[in-house]
Amino acid sequence: MTDGAAGPDGPAVVWHFSEDPSITEFVPHVAVTNPTVPPSVWAIDDAHAPLYWFPRQCPRITWWTPDGRPADVLGPTTAPRVHAVEAAWLDRIRSCTLYRYAFDAAPFEPWVEAEGQLVSATTVRPVSVEPVGDLLGLHVEAGIELRLVPSLWPLREAVGEAADTHGYEFSMVRMRNAAARL
Give the pTM. Answer: 0.90
CA distances from 182 to 91, 143, 151, 153, 179 (A): 21, 30, 7, 8, 8
CA distance 169 to 182: 26
pLDDT of residue 3: 54
Those residues with Cβ within 8 angstroms of residue 164's Cβ, 6 or more apart along the chain or in another chain = none
pLDDT of residue 7: 47
* Predicted confidence pLDDT, tens digits, the chain (182 residues): 545 544 456 679 999 999 999 999 999 999 888 899 899 999 999 999 999 999 999 999 999 999 999 999 999 999 999 999 999 999 999 999 999 999 999 999 999 888 899 999 999 999 999 999 999 999 999 999 999 999 999 999 899 888 889 889 999 999 999 999 87
Pair 28, 118: CB distance under 8 Å: no
Q: Which residues of 114-137 are buried (b: 16+ CB within 10 A; e: fewer)?
A: eebbbbbeeebebeebeebeebee
Pair 61, 147: CB distance under 8 Å: no
pLDDT of residue 142: 97
Neighbours of 103 (CB within 10 A): 23
pLDDT of residue 139: 98
pLDDT of residue 32: 86
